[in-house]
């Protein structure tokens, strides 16, 4: 598999804009990521839409966690290059206040986009509610739970597929890939977070070897 300057199953300390540009067209089966939600990061969604459309194989999915406050902006940016398919609801164990909206948020949207449409009759039927498996903030302040990522990976990809996470954070998606027998490449601009993710991957692999 030609991945340009990158090797399989690694998290790279790099701005995802630069990293994704170096990957060849059509090499990715699934993009699964959790971009930052604040308004000042909305331009990240333009990058995610454009580069995902280039990198994904035909019919491949881009799945992105999102906040609610700027959902219209997110949908507008993502559908520049990808096709909107659905929105899953990730339920929270504990609600939290979105102060600008004066609202208790009790769920999080997970948007499903596709790079072109395959034969819909051949698509599996999927649920659109994900029940929480527990928080995972010990590795990153915005970290998502591995169990939920595993569910998404199993539903939208196959074993040995290549999955990329442009906003890798503390490494949730790579760990989920290891547990579901998928390959991965992650990009993380923060050197400290990148080191945490790679250490976490090393520990996960050691545990897997010991279990065999």
Listed residue (99, 79, 78) closest to 33, CA to CA: 78
pLDDT in tens, 125-172: 999 999 987 666 666 566 688 999 999 999 999 999 999 999 999 999
Radius of gyration of the chain (CA): 16
CATH class of 10-211: alpha beta
pLDDT in tens, 163-212: 999 999 999 999 999 999 999 999 999 999 999 999 999 999 988 877 76
Is the pLDDT score of 76 beyond 70? yes
How far apart are alpha carbons 113 and 69 in whole angstroms? 19
Residue 82, helix vs strand vs coil: coil
pTM for this model (two decimals): 0.93
First to last CA, the chain: 27
**What pLDDT is stored for residue 52 in this prediction?**
98
Residue 182, helix vs strand vs coil: coil
Name the strands in the sheet holding 83-98, side by side, starting at the edge strand that comes first in the sequence: 10-12, 183-187, 162-165, 28-33, 56-65, 103-114, 83-98, 129-130
pLDDT in tens, 90-134: 998 888 899 999 999 999 999 999 999 777 777 889 999 999 876
The DSSP element (H or E) to which 63 belongs, if any, is strand 56-65
**What pLDDT is stored for residue 118 in this prediction?**
75
Q: Where are the domains of the chain?
A: 10-211
For 7-28, what is the HEC assignment?
Answer: CCCEEECCCHHHHHHCCCCCCE
Task: Tokens for 99, please give them.
Answer: 């102060």
Question: pLDDT over 70 for what percent of the chain?
Answer: 95
């Amino acid at each position: 598999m030609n991945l340009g300057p990158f090797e399989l199953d690694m998290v790279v300390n790099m701005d995802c804009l630069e990293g994704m540009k170096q990957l060849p067209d059509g090499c990715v089966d699934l993009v699964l990521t959790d971009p930052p939600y604040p308004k000042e990061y909305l331009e990240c969604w333009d990058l995610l839409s454009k580069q995902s459309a280039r990198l994904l194989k035909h019919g491949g999915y881009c799945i992105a966690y999102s906040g609610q406050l700027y959902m219209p902006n997110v949908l507008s940016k993502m559908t520049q290059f990808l096709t909107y398919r659905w929105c899953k609801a990730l339920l929270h164990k504990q609600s939290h206040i979105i102060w600008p909206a004066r609202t208790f948020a009790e769920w999080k949207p997970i948007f499903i986009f596709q790079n072109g449409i395959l034969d819909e009759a051949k698509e599996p039927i999927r649920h659109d509610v994900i029940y929480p498996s527990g928080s995972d903030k010990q590795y990153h302040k915005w970290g998502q739970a591995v169990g939920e990522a595993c569910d998404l990976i199993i539903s939208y990809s196959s074993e040995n597929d290549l999955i990329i996470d442009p906003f890798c954070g503390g490494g949730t998606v790579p760990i989920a890939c290891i547990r579901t027998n998928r390959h991965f490449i992650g990009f993380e601009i923060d050197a400290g977070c990148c080191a945490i993710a790679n250490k976490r991957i090393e520990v996960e692999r050691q545990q897997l070897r010991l279990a065999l």
